[in-house]
Amino acid sequence: MGRLVEYILLLLSVVLVVSTLTGSANNYYNEPTGNKGSFKDCSVSEKFAELINGSITTNPLICGKAYYYQGSLNIKKTIQWGILHFTLTHPFKNYANITFMDEKFNLCDYIYDLFKVYCPMQPGTYHTDAVGLIPSILWPGRYYAKAAMYNKEGEEIMCISTELTVKKLE
């Protein structure tokens, strides 16, 4: 479970999905998103939840070192259950996007790890302060990550994304 928590915390720290091996030096996936160290709400609808704020301290992130996440979330409709789809992608040498992680997790486990609230999660504003460790397996460079959450009907509950830089421990 500890490893899962690390990846889940990493989830909130890195977020914008990119397809694997797009193969173009000038494709739009390699353009900076301008949201380094902070999060962007990429939801198609804000009827379930809305990211009020979210940020990461320690930017650039350093492999093997801790990072700190703070954020607030406004839940508008009760969340009974859901799936969290997390992707982490690295634009390798500006010609190939390499997906380091493309995983699905139980959203209720994730909610408990960050907010210490069990499902169903009632409407309201929730705050979190979390600490995570950047895995040493990541290559130095820019990363895009995206976390999309879906209910059992397949409706998007929320989507957040970010762009971060990772450096090796010196």
Contacts of 9 (CB under 8 A, 6+ apart): 69, 113, 114, 130, 131, 132
Say whether pLDDT at 137 is over 80: yes
Q: C-alpha 55: how far from its chain's center? A: 11
- The pLDDT tens digits for 72-100 are 889 999 999 999 999 999 998 878 889 99
Say whether pLDDT at 117 is over 90: yes
Q: Is this model's pTM higher than 0.85 or not?
A: no
Question: In this predicted structure, what is the pLDDT of residue 39?
Answer: 82
Say whether pLDDT at 21 is over 80: no
Say whether pLDDT at 8 is over 50: no
Domains and CATH numbers, the chain: 2-167 (2.70.220.10)
Percent of the chain having pLDDT more than 70? 78
Mean pLDDT confidence for 17-39: 40
**How far, in Å, CA of 53 to CA of 38, rounded?**
8
